[in-house]
Amino acid sequence: MQHGQPSRTALSAASHRAAHQVLERGSIFSDPLAARILGADAETAVHEAENEPDRRKMRLFIAIRTRFAEDSLAGAVARGVRQLVVLGAGLDTYAYRHSEGSGLRIFEVDHPSTQAWKRQRLAEAAIPAPRSLTFAPVDFERETLADGLGAAGFDPERQTFFTWLGVVPYLTQEAIFSTLGFIGGLPGGAHVVFDYANPAAWGSGQDEAYASYLSSHSARVASLGEPFRSFFETDALHARLGSLGFREVEDLGPISMRARFFDKGTVPRSDRGGHVVRAATVAGP
pLDDT, tens digit (0-9, with 9 covering 90-100), for 39-75: 999 999 999 999 999 899 999 999 999 999 999 999 9
The four Cα atoms 154, 155, 158, 163 give a dihedral, to 10 degrees, of 20
Instruction: Please give the pLDDT value at position 99.
Output: 84
Instruction: Please give the pLDDT value at position 267.
Output: 67
**Gyration radius (Cα) of the chain, Å:** 18
Query: Rounded to whole angstroms, what are the CA distances from 130 to 139, 158, 168, 251, 263?
Result: 24, 21, 27, 32, 37
Instruction: Please give the pLDDT value at position 203.
Output: 60
Averaged pLDDT, groups of 10, the chain, 285 residues long: 70 96 97 96 95 93 98 95 97 93 93 95 96 95 92 97 96 95 97 96 68 84 87 97 97 94 74 96 72
Instruction: Please give the pLDDT value at position 218.
Output: 87
Residues facing residue 163 across a β-bridge: 86, 193
Question: What are the structural domain ranges in the chain?
Answer: 62-280
Instruction: Please give the pLDDT value at position 84.
Output: 98
Round to whole Å and give the CA distance between 232 and 255: 17
pLDDT, one tens digit per residue, over 208-251 is 788 887 888 888 888 878 899 999 999 999 999 999 999 999 99
Q: Is 112 exposed, middle or buried (0-12, 13-18, 19+ CB in 10 A)?
A: middle
113 sits in which H/E element: helix 112-124
Of 200, 227, 196, give the one whose Cα is nearest residue 211. Answer: 200
CATH number of 62-280: 3.40.50.150
Instruction: Please give the pLDDT value at position 204.
Output: 57
